Amino acid sequence: MELNENARIDTSQVDDRRGSGGGGGMGIPIPIGGGRGGVVGIVIAVLVALVGGGFGLNAMNGGGGGQGDNTALEQKCSTDDALRQLDCRNTLYVNSVQAYWRTALPEAFGEQYRPSKTVFFSQGVNTACGQAGSGVGPFYCPADSLVYIDLTFYRVLADQLGAEGEFAQPYVLAHEYGHHVQNLLGTNEQVRRQQQRDPDNANALSVKLELQADCYAGAWAKNATGTADESGQKIFRSISEQDIAQAIDTAEKIGDDAISERADRPVNPEEFTHGSSAQRKEWFTRGYASGDPKSCDTFGGSL
């Protein structure tokens, strides 16, 4: 993967709350014992990570999180070595994903794309879905239409789960923006109503929602080299097959079965909320192979 050093990094698409002190607290309580840094901590982080719509989050009450101060980020991302900085690179990934959907959403579904900001936070954050700590991993809150991520999550992904490739990062963000697309199309709300009517099938519906977000991420990946900044500068100079393999590897490592096995827990498909490793690989690959989000109908039949 090679980013274009001439592409403008649009920090207005990010809300940097890392220095604002907002959030804090212990985050959303998850009733599982064990040390925060141990295997159970991994399970907590990754089973909830990439959840996007996060219906457990959405069911909570909580105020909005306020606005961060992007001044330091703007200055950092306007320097010659901006692409060496994790937060600047991730901001550029966000720019690419949103540039893709501005064109793809009306073309595929006849709906106009409404941008969403990504909130960078540290340790904890207040959201319209409630208060969240870093342990929940990246997530999308439908109530305020924002993506949230503590960038230290990538260390968990690389060091504890073995998803070390750089392209794991834009895959994570593209997945979360897939949930934003679902929110714009009404898919999130439809699934939530179905889950309320049929609670016994709630997990299976959650899996379909997550796999569709994986597929949307794959569609973006196929088209990412065509995305550009406002001046027309391409954001990516190139994306290699090795990069795509890294995304697929990440999808496999965060499958529900892989997480259960790593934590020495029984693998029970009825408890899956995100999909198995094979399913996550299949649906990301399907989106990438077609490059068309219309190919991502996980609700049209059996998975």
Which residue's entry shows tokens 């342990």? 135
Cβ-proximal residues to 103 (8 Å cutoff; 6+ apart), any chain = none
Q: How far apart are CA 228 and CA 239, in angstroms?
A: 14
In this predicted structure, the answer to whether residue 282 has a pLDDT above a threshold of 90 is yes
Angle at the Cα of 178 (from 195 to 182), degrees rounded to 5? Answer: 45
85-139: per-residue pLDDT in tens? Answer: 999 999 999 999 999 999 999 999 999 999 999 999 998 899 998 888 887 889 9
Q: What is the mean pLDDT of the chain?
A: 83
Name the β-bridge partners of 14: 118
Q: Which two tokens stand for residue 51?
A: 């959840």
In this predicted structure, the answer to whether residue 52 has a pLDDT above a threshold of 50 is no
Mean pLDDT of 31-46: 32
Which residue's entry shows tokens 């009450």? 61
> Worst-scoring range by mean pLDDT, 54-68, 72-86, 98-112, 228-242?
54-68
Round the CA-based radius of gyration of the chain to a whole number and report it: 18
At 10 the three-state DSSP class reads coil
> What ranges make up the beta strands (E) of 143-183?
146-149
210-238: per-residue pLDDT in tens? Answer: 999 999 999 999 999 999 999 999 999 99
183-217: per-residue pLDDT in tens? Answer: 999 999 999 999 999 999 898 899 999 999 999 99
Tell me the pairing of strands 124-127 and 14-16: unpaired
pLDDT of residue 46: 41
Q: How far apart are CA 231 and CA 20, in angstroms?
A: 31
Q: Give residue 6's identity as a one-letter amino acid code.
A: N
pLDDT of residue 66: 64
> Worst-scoring range by mean pLDDT, 50-64, 137-151, 220-234?
50-64
DSSP H or E segment with residue 114? none
pLDDT of residue 22: 38
Name the β-bridge partners of 133: 124
* Residue 31 pLDDT grade (very low, low, confident, very high; cuts 50, 70, 90): very low
Q: Which two tokens stand for residue 239?
A: 């994306």
Handedness of CA 282, 102, 15, 75 (dihedral sign): positive
Angle at the Cα of 55 (from 116 to 28), degrees rounded to 5? Answer: 90
